[in-house]
Chain A
Amino acid sequence: MLTNLSRIIKFGLQRFWRNASLSTATIAIMFLALIVFGGINLFNVISRTTLTSIQDKIDISVFFKSTTPEDEILKIQSTLKAMPEVKNTEYISRDKALEIFKEQHQGDETITQAIDQAGENPLLASISIKAQDPKQYQMIASFLGGDEFKNSVEKVSYDERNSQMIDRLIKIIDTTRLFGLLVTIFLTLIAVLVTLAAIGLAIHSSRDEIGIMRLVGASNFFTSGPYIVEGITYGLISAILSMIILFPIVYFGSPYVKVFVPEMNLKQYFDSHFFLILLQQILFGIVVGVTSSVIAVRKYLKI
């Protein structure tokens, strides 16, 4: 078994090497398919980061009456934290709110004077809430607007306009996700089909050879084995080549991506996920290469 396996690997590599022009052409096509596949993956990472950053910008705040004691507010914060729909909460006391307000309007003397003249802090304590999913804001807002909190809550910043904007953002996020998924499926399918056709053609040109192997007494395993090894070699080399090309593209493209999505450091992502991306490319290359070889050889194994 081990002897047979080593012979099959030897034949596969020999075929690959001796049919250099055919191997080069097949690798060139697979390489393009893998660039598309790698590109889609990076595009998905960028769009995921963009969507997450948009989602993170959405929140609602619940403002408390100036008479509501801090214990009560902290109790409500604990209740909110315990809700599965709530991702995180941030309590901003009246003093903290004033501090932030002053900081934001440092240069504006009119506002600073107005605050000083007011004597008492006019700002209310609040809790800012981020939901796990933007669709859950409506539910959280209705919960806080309920009778239970009527005496403590002044208002919840989730009005008609606010909700419309959040709804619109939810729609944009959902559509972008769906579009991204469809583009991924479509381009991956094209990459798979192109590779299938390329390897299919390479094996079609060897159909006489497959017939001869069968007539000389080679089993199916022995006949198809070298072609599978060839498919693995195509996949492996194309994957490594695609990484060599993706590497400078990511490095030079990263600052441009940052302009559009400030939260996205593509270069850093590529560096920290290098081996995972390489593994993904190799797996895709090998799986598609082997599948194409098996499908193509099966056609000629009937002799």
Chain B
Amino acid sequence: MIAFQNVTKFYNGNGKGTETIALDDVSFKVNPKEFVSLVGKSGAGKSTLIKLLVGEEGPDKGRIIFGSYDVNKLQPKELPSLRRHIGVVFQDFKLLTNKTAYENVAFALEVAGRPDKEIKDFVPKILELVGLKEKVSNFPKELSGGEQQRVAIARALIHNPDVLVADEPTGNLDPINSADIIKLLLTINEMGTTVILATHNKDIINNLERRVILLESGKIVRDEEKGKYILI
């Protein structure tokens, strides 16, 4: 289970003395196997929320719980262990450019110290699941945006994580590739993984008919089961 308890996060505007509030007293829970969409305009606080969840940044106030982890109390050396329970997919894919599709996915297992045999068994299977069986030896620059995002999803899934967090995964993709990625996320959710999808794509949300949390200027303004993305 994931819980954000009265979380507040400020950014100090590059030391110019102007403080911006990114998250303002945000509280919510996500249950196991849920599919939750975080929606809101750019700058509403969606990405900040994800950064706080994976420990990339710390909150100024409040508490973040992920399973048995008290995220904001973790030491830097404890973060890798947390991150192996959360698969993250980014808008800009964040693939290692000098590694092939296979190596990018395998890397996530290699850093966790998993045996070679397991890696050789799992990686082709997960690449097949995301539809990239034929592109295992291609480098990111040799793949389309949609294919790169599939590699990123495969990498996020390879640990069999409890949660898959997707931050604007369709932001750089055309509508057809976007629809395919969302379909893939739904399949992953049906297989038992909690999915948190941050997006500002109205059409995607309205077709999903899943839980929607709407963020506006760092505050949660609506949290609905089978919600729609309605701008206030």
Contact = CB atoms under 8 A, between A and B. Distances in A.
Interface of A: 3-4, 7, 14-15, 18-19, 208-209, 211-220, 222, 302-303
B98 interface: yes
Interface string B74-107: 0011011101100010000011111100000001
B108 A217 contact: yes
Interface in B45-83: 54, 56, 76-77, 79-81, 83
19 contacts: A3-B115, A7-B110, A14-B99, A18-B98, A208-B94, A209-B96, A209-B98, A214-B80, A215-B56, A215-B88, A216-B108, A217-B80, A217-B111, A217-B112, A218-B80, A219-B77, A219-B80, A219-B111, A220-B77
Contacts of B108: 216-217
A153 B47 CA distance: 97
A18 B141 CA distance: 14
A303 B79 CA distance: 10
A7 B110 CA distance: 7
Please indicate which of the listed interface residues B77, B98, B116 has the most CB atoms of chain A within 10 Å of its own CB. Answer: B98
A212 B80 CA distance: 12
A208 B83 CA distance: 17
B56 to A, nearest CB: 6
A208 B92 CA distance: 11
Given A209-B97, A303-B56, A216 B107 contact: yes
A216 B115 contact: no
A32 to B, nearest CB: 26
- Interface extent on B, as a size class? 20 to 34
A2 to B, nearest CB: 11
A217 B84 contact: yes
A212 B94 contact: yes
B13 interface: no
Contacts of B9: none
Contacts of B98: 14-15, 18-19, 209
A213 B116 contact: no
B93 to A, nearest CB: 9
A216 B155 contact: yes
Contacts, number: 52
Would you call the interface of chain A mostly helix, strand, loop, or mixed? helix
Contacts of A19: 98
Contact of A213 (B81, B111, B113): B111
A297 to B, nearest CB: 14
A4 B113 contact: yes
Given A19-B98, A209-B97, A212-B95, A217 B83 contact: yes
Nearest to A4: B113
Contacts of B110: 7
Contact of B83 (A3, A14, A211, A216): A216
Contacts of A215: 54, 56, 83, 88, 94
A208 B98 CA distance: 12
A3 B54 CA distance: 27
Contacts of A213: 96, 107, 111
Contacts of B56: 215, 303
A286 B226 CA distance: 60
A217 B79 CA distance: 7
A3 B113 contact: yes
**CB-based closest 7 A-B pairs:** A218-B111, A217-B83, A18-B98, A217-B84, A217-B80, A212-B94, A222-B111
Interface string B32-56: 0000000000000000000000101
B149 to A, nearest CB: 14
A213 B80 CA distance: 10
Contacts of A222: 111
A221 to B, nearest CB: 10
A137 to B, nearest CB: 64
Please indicate which of the listed interface residues B81, B88, B112 has the most CB atoms of chain A within 10 Å of its own CB. Answer: B112
Given A14-B99, A209-B98, A302-B76, 18 more contacts: A3-B113, A4-B113, A14-B98, A18-B98, A208-B94, A209-B97, A211-B94, A212-B95, A213-B107, A215-B54, A216-B83, A216-B107, A216-B155, A217-B81, A217-B111, A219-B77, A222-B111, A303-B56
Nearest to B103: A14
Contacts of A3: 113, 115-116
A184 B108 CA distance: 46
Nearest to A208: B94
A152 B86 CA distance: 97
Contact of A216 (B77, B81, B111): B111
A214 B107 CA distance: 11
B103 to A, nearest CB: 8
Contacts of A18: 98
Contacts of B113: 3-4
B32 to A, nearest CB: 20
A219 B81 CA distance: 9
